[in-house]
């Protein structure tokens, strides 16, 4: 079996070697850049990609042997699933693998913004999309002390508790964070969900974060807000015309990053591992018992992204302390500066993603406290914060 994989996916060679050592017969080839070369596709039985690779009928025509396709991302809009089905290609994605990283990204954006201003943003937090990444972001912001609500009309129609379909409540919120796939058709299409009218309707001082897909927020609507000097704070990790970024918006944006919200080491390695687990069960060794390393074992290769950060406090931490701890582990400002100091070219955009530094997750943080951890208020807060920091009560 020939497996073709994006070279930027961590540990693809090591995981392939682990399988061949157990008698699984496979040949691994990697490709650089956004699209694999035709000569490589011609030999591929399985293809592993990330969000920058577009799979459509044209690519599938170049891969006549392809039987399995996996993307190490939660998003799937870069893959024509109907074309895969027609070609008899099994398609899998990896929802949830980078949810913690995206939640950390949102927490860092809000923490830095709050510390810079000396106060938390006013009003509720609206999370758009109550899936893996949306929940992770909401849990962290709840732990920081915000009232969080989840806008997800499709889930609301299914009767899922804890979500709503009140768009006006979203537009009235002080912080809005987008966590939806990009869809252009249907009752709840997300393409230009925030168009010029929706952007103009946001309250003064609103913080709008998009770490989902670029076209969820209309860049032309942002330009209108910028020209009107609207009192709006915007964080963009994704761009409507990636890898081309809206360079004219850069001076106006609060933080701008090159589509790296989910790029923690743990998130990226988990994506690679899950694809290998699936391709083994589906194609490479469905009748064979094979063992792949555990995620914790694989992460030991990146001590800079896994070593524990510890803080000790004898009093219940303030929001300022929590926000500073978030920033100690992941500081969005560093990624913002890397993009601002680039040439804003497509090549620079891809280079920043490809050469992204090893990044830890908030779960590496340990807070050591005493009696305040047993107080009822903190028991409720811990239910949210333990998705990130670990809290340890000491006598």
Enzyme catalytic residues: 213, 242, 259
Question: Contact, 363 vs 143, CB < 8 A?
Answer: no
Pairing relation of β-strands 46-49 and 2-6? parallel
If phi > 0 it is left, if psi is from -120 to 50 it is alpha, else beta; for residue 305 that is: alpha
Bond from prior residue into 273 cis (ω within 30 degrees of 0) = no
User: What kind and span of H or E run contains 310?
Assistant: strand 309-312
H or E segment to which residue 392 belongs: strand 390-393
What b/e readout covers 230-265, taking b as 16+ CB neighbours within 10 angstroms?
Answer: bebbbbbbbbbebbebbeebeebbbbbbbbbbbbbb
Total length of the chain: 395
3-state class (DSSP) for residue 307: coil
Q: What is the DSSP string of 90-126?
A: EEE--TTTTHHHHHHHHHHHHHHHHHHHTSPPSS-EE
Using the 8-state DSSP alphabet, how is residue 83 labeled? H
158 Cβ contact partners less than 8 Å away, ≥ 6 residues apart: none
Cα–chain center distance at 394 = 34
C-alpha–C-alpha distance, residues 25 and 14, integer Å = 15
Report the alpha-carbon distance of residue 348 to residue 140 in Å, rounded. Answer: 31
User: Measured between alpha carbons, how far is residue 391 from residues 106, 291, 316, 364, 373 in Å?
Assistant: 21, 33, 11, 11, 8
Identify the DSSP state of 48.
E
Per-position b or e across 189-203, b if 16+ CB within 10 A of its CB: ebebbbeeebbeebe
What letter would DSSP give residue 281?
Answer: I
- The tokens for 279 are 């391709």
Residue 337 and residue 243 in contact, taking contact as beta carbons nearer than 8 Å:
no
Strand pairing report for 2-6 and 27-31: parallel
């Amino acid at each position: 079996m020939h497996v073709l994989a994006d070279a930027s996916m961590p540990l693809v060679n090591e995981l392939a070697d682990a399988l061949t050592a157990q008698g699984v017969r496979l040949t691994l080839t990697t490709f650089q850049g956004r699209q694999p070369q035709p000569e490589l596709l011609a030999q591929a039985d399985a293809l592993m990609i990330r969000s920058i690779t577009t799979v459509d009928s044209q690519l599938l025509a170049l891969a006549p042997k392809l039987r399995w396709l996996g993307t190490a991302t939660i998003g799937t809009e870069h893959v024509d699933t109907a074309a895969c089905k027609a070609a008899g290609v099994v398609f899998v994605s990896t929802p949830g693998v980078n949810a913690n990283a995206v939640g950390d990204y949102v927490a860092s954006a809000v923490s830095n913004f709050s510390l810079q201003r000396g106060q938390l943003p006013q009003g509720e937090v609206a999370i758009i999309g109550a899936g893996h990444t949306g929940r992770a972001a909401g849990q962290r912001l709840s732990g920081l002390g915000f009232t969080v609500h989840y806008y997800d009309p499709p889930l609301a129609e299914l009767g899922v508790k804890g979500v709503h379909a009140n768009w006006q409540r979203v537009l009235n919120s002080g912080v809005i964070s987008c966590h939806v796939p990009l869809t252009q058709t249907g009752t709840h299409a997300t393409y230009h969900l925030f168009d010029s009218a929706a952007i103009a309707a946001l309250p003064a001082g609103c913080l709008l974060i998009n770490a989902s897909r670029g076209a969820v927020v209309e860049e032309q609507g942002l330009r209108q807000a910028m020209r009107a000097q609207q009192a709006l704070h915007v964080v963009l990790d994704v761009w409507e015309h990636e890898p081309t970024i809206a360079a004219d918006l850069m001076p106006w944006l609060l933080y701008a990053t090159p589509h790296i919200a989910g790029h923690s080491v743990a998130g990226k390695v988990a994506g690679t591992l899950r694809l290998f687990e699936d391709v083994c069960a589906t194609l490479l060794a469905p009748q064979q018992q094979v063992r792949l390393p555990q995620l914790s074992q694989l992460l030991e290769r990146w001590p800079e992204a896994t070593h524990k950060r510890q803080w000790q406090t004898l009093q219940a931490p303030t929001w300022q302390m929590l926000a500073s701890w978030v920033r100690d582990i992941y500081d969005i400002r560093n990624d913002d500066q890397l993009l601002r100091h680039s040439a804003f070219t497509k090549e620079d955009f891809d280079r920043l993603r490809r050469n992204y530094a090893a990044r830890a997750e908030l779960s590496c943080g340990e807070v050591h406290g005493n009696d305040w951890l047993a107080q009822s208020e903190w028991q409720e807060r811990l239910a949210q914060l333990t998705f990130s920091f670990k809290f340890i009560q000491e006598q």
